[in-house]
């Protein structure tokens, strides 16, 4: 890709996550927000007016077919991720698709296959993996800073109640705590320990048959364990701890977008600050643009294999708790 011009972004959907991502995209000097697309022209025009975007499209197809876009950010509810991302990939566009990439492993594999068949870049927008503090933590662990990792603990709970039509509850929107919230602690466990050798899950369900309070235990043949909790029946600390044979790393509240962490070894605590730019969503955009300029079809930071491995774990947990879409 031409190094002399900005990379041109299209924003697909106009909800709150699209707002946050677009705000952070404006902080990147080599990014240009070229167009926005929505299912209605009125919504696209309103979003374009708010963010000073030149072109507004009244359909996903029109955005995907826009010749002046290099990459599309898919920001729909995750029940529509597969349809929207596949449309853009088949049009030859690079895609950054919000997490979870789809509702299940088979549709996630279909997107990866579609991207490869069309020679198009695809990355899940798992912004936590591109967070500078998380990347520093992964590097420290790889260097043996806390020895062999024996446990990962993380929770992500929100204060309810939410109405039946809310995205966290509605089956037609892919509702449930596991896919919307639990994907973060499960991803953290995968990042540190890899794919688990066993999965055990339990949940209480809403009247809509989506999960509202869920626990997952991941077991590893090495002897390591990961314990994950997610839900929307009470606000949890939203913290995480990674324990090793020589120490531990503690992530503060909002562990999925940290700007600091604590390294504990031999009883001594070292708090390490890692400043966060904007909402923290721009780092995933930077990674996409780096990959596009290098001609890569997937990111080594958020590889397809990791996305599929997490989805495989989520599928197993959903099967155990009885949530289907």
| CATH number, domain containing residue 40 | 3.40.50.720
**Domain-terminating residue out of 126, 157, 184:** 126
Question: What is the spatial distance between Cα 122 and Cα 148, in angstroms, rounded to a whole number?
Answer: 32
Q: Which helix (H) or strand (E) holds 150?
A: strand 149-157
Say how many Å lie between the first and final Cα of the chain, rounded: 39
CA distances (Å), origin 285, targets 9, 85, 116, 225: 10, 16, 20, 32
* Cβ atoms 241, 153 nearer than 8 A: yes
**Within-domain flag for 285:** no
* Cβ atoms 249, 147 nearer than 8 A: no
CA distances (Å), origin 82, targets 55, 90, 114, 124, 170: 24, 12, 11, 11, 18
Tally of CA atoms within 13 A in the half-sphere of 102 that contains its CB: 20
Domain count, the chain: 2
**Within-domain flag for 218:** yes
Same domain, 109 and 144: no
* Cβ atoms 152, 249 nearer than 8 A: no
**Within-domain flag for 2:** no
Residue 284 has what pLDDT? 98
Same domain, 185 and 245: yes
Residue 185 has what pLDDT? 98
**Domain-terminating residue out of 98, 126, 154:** 126
**Within-domain flag for 305:** no
Residue 4 has what pLDDT? 80
Question: What is the spatial distance between Cα 89 and Cα 188, in angstroms, rounded to a whole number?
Answer: 28
Residue 1 has what pLDDT? 74
Specify burial of residue 145 (Cβ count, 10 A radius: 0-12, 13-18, 19+): middle
**Within-domain flag for 197:** yes
Is 99 annotated in the active site? Answer: yes
* Cβ atoms 173, 100 nearer than 8 A: no
* Cβ atoms 48, 34 nearer than 8 A: no
Question: What is the spatial distance between Cα 276 and Cα 27, in angstroms, rounded to a whole number?
Answer: 12
Same domain, 64 and 98: yes
- Nearest Cα neighbor of 198 from 27, 69, 313 is 313
Same domain, 194 and 101: no
- Nearest Cα neighbor of 89 from 97, 98, 99 is 97
Phi and psi of 184, rounded to 5°? -70, -55
**Within-domain flag for 295:** no
Give pLDDT tens digits along the chain (325 positions). 777 899 999 999 999 999 999 999 999 999 999 999 999 999 999 999 999 999 999 999 999 999 999 999 999 999 999 999 999 999 999 999 999 999 999 999 999 999 999 999 999 999 999 999 999 999 999 999 999 999 999 999 999 999 999 999 999 999 999 999 999 999 999 999 999 999 999 999 999 999 999 999 999 999 999 999 999 999 999 999 999 999 999 999 999 999 999 999 998 999 999 999 999 999 999 999 999 999 999 999 999 999 999 999 999 999 999 999 9
* Cβ atoms 111, 85 nearer than 8 A: yes
Residue that has been written with the tokens 């898919």 in this structure? 74
Specify burial of residue 2 (Cβ count, 10 A radius: 0-12, 13-18, 19+): exposed
In this structure, the dihedral spanned by the alpha carbons of residues 110, 111, 112 and 113, taken in order and rounded to 10 degrees, is 50
Question: What is the spatial distance between Cα 121 and Cα 104, in angstroms, rounded to a whole number?
Answer: 20
**Within-domain flag for 296:** no
Instruction: Determine the structural domain holding residue 79 and report its residue range.
Output: 7-126
Same domain, 96 and 160: no
CATH number of the domain bearing residue 216 = 3.30.360.10
């Amino acid at each position: 890709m031409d190094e002399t011009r900005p990379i041109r972004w299209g924003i697909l959907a106009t909800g709150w996550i699209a707002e946050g991502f677009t705000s952070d995209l404006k902080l990147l000097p080599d990014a240009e927000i070229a167009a926005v697309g929505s299912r209605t022209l009125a919504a696209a025009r309103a979003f374009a007016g708010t963010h000073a975007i030149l072109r507004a499209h009244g359909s996903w197809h029109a955005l995907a077919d826009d010749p002046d876009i290099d990459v599309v950010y898919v920001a729909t509810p995750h029940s529509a991720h597969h349809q929207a991302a596949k449309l853009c990939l088949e049009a030859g566009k690079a895609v950054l698709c919000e997490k979870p990439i789809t509702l299940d492993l088979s549709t996630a594999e279909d997107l990866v296959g579609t991207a490869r068949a069309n020679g198009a870049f695809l990355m899940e927008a798992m912004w936590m993996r591109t967070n500078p503090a998380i990347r520093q933590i992964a590097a420290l662990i790889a260097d043996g800073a806390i020895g062999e990792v024996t446990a990962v603990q993380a929770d992500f709970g929100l204060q309810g109640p939410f109405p039946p039509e809310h995205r966290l509850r509605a089956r037609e929107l892919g509702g449930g705590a596991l896919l919307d919230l639990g994907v973060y602690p499960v991803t953290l466990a995968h990042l540190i320990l890899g794919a688990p050798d066993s999965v055990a899950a339990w949940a209480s369900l809403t009247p809509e048959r989506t999960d509202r309070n869920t626990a997952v235990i991941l077991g590893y043949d090495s002897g390591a364990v990961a314990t994950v909790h997610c839900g929307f029946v009470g606000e949890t600390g939203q913290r995480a701890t990674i324990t090793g044979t020589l120490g531990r790393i503690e992530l503060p509240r909002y562990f999925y977008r940290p700007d600091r962490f604590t390294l504990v070894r031999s009883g001594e605590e070292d708090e390490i600050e890692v400043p966060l730019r904007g909402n923290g969503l721009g780092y995933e955009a930077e990674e996409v643009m780096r990959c596009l300029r290098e001609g890569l079809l997937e990111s080594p930071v958020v590889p397809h294999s990791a996305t599929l491995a997490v989805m495989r774990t989520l599928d197993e947990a959903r099967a155990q708790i009885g949530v289907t879409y």
